[in-house]
Amino acid sequence: MGALCLTAHAGDAGWRLTMAPSFQTKPAIREEIPGSKTAILVVARPAGYGEFEYATTLGALRYAKDIATSKGAEWIEEAGAEIRRDKDGVVDRVLITGSDPLLPSLAVAPALYDRFEPVLGDGFHVIIPDRNTIALYPRIAGQIPATEAASLLEINRTATYPVSREVFRATRLGLVADGELRED
């Protein structure tokens, strides 16, 4: 498991396109995630003590999308991922964890699809229960195992900074809501 730090570099204002719960805030600049009832895309940077500062210009949104496109693969490599395989050697889960509050930025970077589509298949599931956890599952396998769904829901319930209980489908064009995580 890797820790990730997406802090600002020289000439970089630190803005990232990231996912946030829609109930938590209504920033001026945001994008809806198709089909999502609980999460939105925002342009944010850490403001200290777990809080975010939200961008207020369309220029910041364009910048955040450009930086996610150009740096996303690097961020994913730096974060590392725990890749689990079943008894046949097929990848059945990828888990990315870290302490950076902008970890959900990885899920909306185009490089996430490019990196994991070859091993998880087209339209793989993306779950972001809190700011520190991203779980990926192959969609072709069907449902997320009940014990893992329960674990991810528990992370969401007890999180200081929850993100979403929804299951998203990764596409070449971004994330699309694909249902809600359930324990059954």
In a domain, 47, yes or no: yes
Total structural domains within the chain? 1
In a domain, 136, yes or no: yes
Rg (CA), the chain: 15
Whether residue 11 is predicted with pLDDT greater than 60 in this model: the reply is no
Nearest-angstrom CA–CA distance, 136 and 113:
11
**Helical ranges in the chain per DSSP H:** 58-79, 105-108, 110-120, 146-158
CB 94 within 8 A of CB 120: yes
Q: Find all residues with CB under 8 Å of 175, minimum gap 6, and list them.
A: 19, 33, 34, 107, 108, 126, 168, 169
Both structure tokens of 31: 């994008």
Whether residue 10 is predicted with pLDDT greater than 50 in this model: the reply is no
| CA distance between the termini of the chain | 27
Q: Domain residues for 110?
A: 16-180
pTM of this structure = 0.89
In a domain, 174, yes or no: yes
**pLDDT tens sequence across 98-132:** 988 999 999 999 999 999 999 999 999 999 999 99
